[in-house]
Structure 1
Amino acid sequence: MAKYLISFPSAAMVVPDGDWDAVSRDSHAVIEEAKAAGVYVFGGGIDESVPPVLVAADGTFTEGGYSWAPPLNGGFAVLEIASREEAITWAARLAKACRCQQELRVFGFDPAS
């Protein structure tokens, strides 16, 4: 079993104002189905009202993330699934519920995690 990250940036969600309640309902329903299927690990949305902090190895920190990287925002879910095909199926379900494409990535195996 591998863990998959299913995510989207905030800008991908172009939803008419009157549809937000349906998007919330539908996306939460897919997450509940993932929990019932035993594949849900965790998920949520990045709180964009809290700025990132870049922390150095010595513990010093500065406001903001990497200046050269695109901002990390939007929503994500981590699911533990037996196959890439099944992960694509779950990503498609979330894409339909969220009304936007989802990016699918697999985490590298770490025997210590």
Structure 2
Amino acid sequence: MTEYMISFNDGQMIISDADLPEVAAAAVAVVHEARAAGVWVFGGGLLDPGTASVVAVDGTVTDGPFADAKNHVGGFSVVDVATREEALEWAAKLAVACRCAQEVRAFAPDAT
């Protein structure tokens, strides 16, 4: 099995306040389906990039996201599946639920 991160950029998920409960319910339904299928590892939405902090190699902390970053992860799900095709199928379900494109990336093998 391989773990995949399915994520979206924060600027891509543009949902009206009126539609938010429906989108949230659809996303939660996909999470419940993934849990029932035994593939769900972890996931969640992230707060606004303005709440981020960057910690430099010398320990200096700067408030805000990376200054040169144009895109920020808005949320993600991690699934543990047998094939990339399965990960893409889960991403498709999340794309429909969240009404935005999803990026799929495999985690590198654990070096420990």
What is the aligned-residue RMSD (CA, Å)? 1.7
Change in Cα spacing, 1:64 to 1:45, as seen in structure 2 (3 Å) is: same
SS state at 1:79 partner: strand
Instruction: Tell me if structure 2 keeps the 8 A contact 1:48–1:73.
Output: no
Write the letter of the residue equivalent to 1:83.
T
What stretches of structure 2 of length at least 5 have no aligned partner?
none
Instruction: Tell me if structure 2 keeps the 8 A contact 1:10–1:75.
Output: yes
- Looking at structure 2, the residues matched to 94 and 10 of structure 1 have their Cα atoms a distance apart, in angstroms, of 15
Q: Which residue matches 2:106?
A: 106
SS state at 1:18 partner: coil
Aligned length: 112
Q: Which residue matches 1:3?
A: 3
Change in Cα spacing, 1:16 to 1:66, as seen in structure 2 (3 Å) is: closer
Percent same amino acid at aligned positions?
47
Instruction: Tell me if structure 1 keeps the 8 A contact 2:7–2:104.
Output: yes
Q: TM-score, normalised to structure 1's length? A: 0.87
Structure 1 segments of 4 or more deviating over 3 A? none
- Looking at structure 2, the residues matched to 61 and 14 of structure 1 have their Cα atoms a distance apart, in angstroms, of 30
What stretches of structure 1 of length at least 5 have no aligned partner?
none
SS state at 2:51 partner: coil
Instruction: Tell me if structure 1 keeps the 8 A contact 2:11–2:71.
Output: no
